[in-house]
Amino acid sequence: MPAIYLDHHATTPVDPRVLEAMLPYFTAKPGNPASRSHSFGWEADRAVARARQRIAALAGAAEREIVFTSGATESNNLALKGAAEAYRRRGNHLVTMATEHKAVLDTVHHLEHSGFRVTVLPPQPDGLLDLARLRAAILPETVLVSVMYANNEIGTIQPVREIGEICRQTGVLFHCDAAQAFGKIPVDVEAAHIDLLSVSAHKMYGPKGAGALYVRGRNPRVELMAQIHGGGHESGLRSGTLNVPGIVGFGEACAIAAQEMAGEAVRIAALRDSLLRQLEANLETGAGPLHMNGTMHMNGAMHINGTMHINGTMHINGTMAHRLPGNLNVSFVGVDGDALLTGIPQIAVSAGSACGSGYDSSYVLEALGLPPALLQCPVRFGIGRSNTQAEIDCAASRVAAAVRELRTLSPVL
């Protein structure tokens, strides 16, 4: 059986159209856009300008507001460290969420060592931010709020427009890590009052090593302190020779997304829903309830005398109402996540984020308040552009079979 790739939140394959656009800039068109004295440099500069325009258009931004980076991790670092340093005279307080990507959480914790205070807000059980709690967390000395557009593990889409309105009303900057959302769902920095937006090409069928940071240029104009020096590239915000092939590929990926994103989202969401229905149907029989201490309210759970009873073999992590089209994150009760992945070697899925070193229980799911029995068995399905209904049918059948087999060996059932 050919391998089935269902890990599109970790990375996406480069679209053949993207690769075709990139190839000339590795060989026949080798110019450095900073070389202004010959045609090769001019051609590279024009290619970069066109890509910048395409990325800006997909974000609802102006071309001059796009700063090229190596990816969303660097963009997050530039946004958070750059804004914190630039606005330190106004305050030293930052607000973020416990379910943010490590590129945000590790960066704000680094800033704590430099004298900044950080408030990390917990999510609600469905993964969404409590807006009243956000309002209460913003203080006179707060300079920036950082909340991701869509979560990389559970796919939860945050109410970014409401968050942006709160930030604008209180006079603080709003940074949004949109690596998982950009190119999959509509993103409009103006409508959402986003001041800083981090994006990455490899999450949307572009190449690895290419990313960008949107930096608001007016109403208000955002100031940043550069984190990489040496040549003054990208308006002085990010020095270094530009990755022309990667940038061209990123631009092409954005042009494709602008044309195909809406229809693709509908098709991929239908595949995701089909996967969920088939897993539920294949696992609904022969599954007794699992009893655990606790009082947390969860989908598909009942509460009797303070004890949680999870019925069935599968629990959906995060809200289904506000979710990326291709995301499904579930915990299979009584099944070890690593053992399940070992049992389905031809199905490429993830037991959590792909951006950590080594596997441990998911801090995102811990923040939702899931009990230990559900933390040991999460599986993230990431459905993408190339997946077919036949692949979904095969994956659902094989995953369900592996879960049933492992449940027979579970000591807790």
pLDDT for the residue numbered 307: 33
Is residue 99 within 8 Å of 121, Cβ to Cβ? no
* Strand 290-293, strand 307-310: pairing: antiparallel
The token duo for 265 is: 């989202």
Q: What is the pTM of this model?
A: 0.92
The token duo for 164 is: 């942006």
pLDDT for the residue numbered 1: 76
> How crowded is the C-beta side of 254, counted as CA atoms within 13 Å?
26
The per-residue b/e assignment along 160-176, b for 16 or more CB within 10 angstroms, e otherwise, is: beebbebbbeeebbbbb
Distances (CA, A) of 365 to 22, 27, 145, 239, 388: 38, 46, 22, 37, 29
pLDDT for the residue numbered 257: 98
pLDDT of 89 higher than 70? yes
Q: Which residues share a beta bridge with 347?
A: 4
pLDDT of 387 higher than 70? yes
Q: What is the pLDDT of residues 359-378, one digit of tens each?
A: 567 999 999 999 988 888 89
Nearest to 82 by CA among 250, 244, 193, 216: 216
Q: What is the pLDDT of residues 6-44, one digit of tens each?
A: 999 999 999 999 999 999 999 999 999 999 999 999 999
Residue 285's pLDDT band (cuts 50, 70, 90) = very low
Q: State whether the Cα torsion 66-70-71-73 is positive or negative.
A: negative
Q: What is the pLDDT of residues 181-234, one digit of tens each?
A: 999 999 999 999 999 999 999 999 999 999 999 999 999 999 999 999 999 999
For the chain, domains (ranges, CATH) are 16-257 (3.40.640.10), 261-407 (3.90.1150.10)
Residue 355's pLDDT band (cuts 50, 70, 90) = very low
Arithmetic mean of pLDDT, 148-158: 98
Q: What is the pLDDT of residues 74-84, one digit of tens each?
A: 999 999 999 99
- Report, as residue numbers or ranges, the catalytic residues: 355
